[in-house]
Chain A
Amino acid sequence: MSELKIAPALEAEHQTHTYHKTYFGFWTYLMTDLVLFAALFATYAVLRDNTWGGPTAGEIFSMPFVLTETMLLLTSSFTVGLAMLAIRSGKRALALSWFIITFLLGAGFLGMELYEFNKLVHEGLAWHANAFMSSFFTLVGTHGAHIAVGLLWMIVMMVRLAQKGITPNDVRRLTLLGLFWHFLDIVWIFIFTFVYLMGAANV
């Protein structure tokens, strides 16, 4: 079977088939990741009032700071889409510049998040302060860890793009990276809404 000669047309069809399977496989991974986040959201929703006499969600977050974070991530989700458009029309330099902008926006987001974590820890509100802080750090930290992985992946893909150009395999990988990045922004919408907005609204 391994010596079977595949005609170019069949080869192309085989590649398309692999591409669809890979896309579906990665999508299924994202759906399981969604369930992981749901468990963390449920934990946060249950524990957020258990502050053990400490400050509540409404008292510790700076809303303009969080809005800036949100806008950075949202813009990066937009620019990664533009990068994928450039990839599909074969414009390597344009795609690379959009990926660099996406990377900088993502890194800015992660930097702001780490700054917020650091500030909370120095105020004596680390993850071991109370059940509310534990669930907060676990939920937001898990999202941040995903962002960090996405940024590493983006560095690898940018280097490949600069060295090898747009190859069919890399188009597939970049599509998955774009999907991953959009997914992380969707998760953030719910963190922004349920952790920060509802915290500030005291509901």
Chain B
Amino acid sequence: MSKPETRSAGHDHEVTHGSYISYVVGFVLSVALTLVAYFAVVNGWMTGWSVLLFVTALAIAQLLVQLLFFLHMSQEKRPRFNLMTFGYAVMVVVILVIGSLWIMYNMRYNMVHEMTPEEVEQFIIEDEGIKYLENDQTDEHSH
């Protein structure tokens, strides 16, 4: 029974630590996930949106593998400040990346290249299936 006590002194000194096994498992999983993503793209297993979602899912899976097996985030003792700051950072990252793409996509959509403002308006009306009344449309152009 004295063994856990003597170990705890040295144990407390370390923040989080791994074992040889955890690094090997993390490494093997990371290599496997990298290779699957690589060959899915290079050998053209799928195209378009499905390949985009597939490699993104694999990247997130590898992120989780490395957080668990290389950074040992699951071993952190409460209160889990590292996990909290990580969660906050992920939130900022998602807002920043998705938000930028969303805003810029809409801007591009509303300012289609090499079109006059009238052509852009016509393009949006047709694309979104909006039908103005005849006098509404003339009213719009008179402004």
Contacts and interface: CB of A to CB of B under 8 A. Distances in A.
Interface string A29-44: 0011011001101110
A81 B18 contact: yes
Contacts of B15: 19-20, 23, 175
Contact of A45 (B66, B85, B92, B97): B97
Interface stretch (A105-113, A151-159, A183-191): A183-191
Interface residues of A, number: 48
B71 A182 contact: yes
Contacts of A24: 81-82
A100 interface: no
Contacts of A39: 96
Interface string B92-124: 110011011100100000000000000000000
A193 interface: yes
Interface string A181-203: 01001100110111001101101
Given A42-B96, A43-B100, A203-B47, 4 more contacts: A20-B15, A82-B20, A175-B15, A203-B49
24 contacts: A15-B13, A19-B15, A27-B86, A31-B85, A35-B92, A42-B100, A43-B100, A45-B100, A71-B31, A77-B66, A78-B23, A81-B18, A84-B17, A88-B17, A182-B71, A185-B70, A186-B67, A189-B62, A189-B66, A190-B59, A192-B59, A193-B55, A201-B52, A203-B51
Interface of A: 12, 15-16, 19-20, 23-24, 27-28, 31-32, 34-35, 38-39, 41-43, 45-46, 63, 67, 70-71, 74-75, 77-78, 81-82, 84-85, 88, 175, 179, 182, 185-186, 189-190, 192-194, 197-198, 200-201, 203
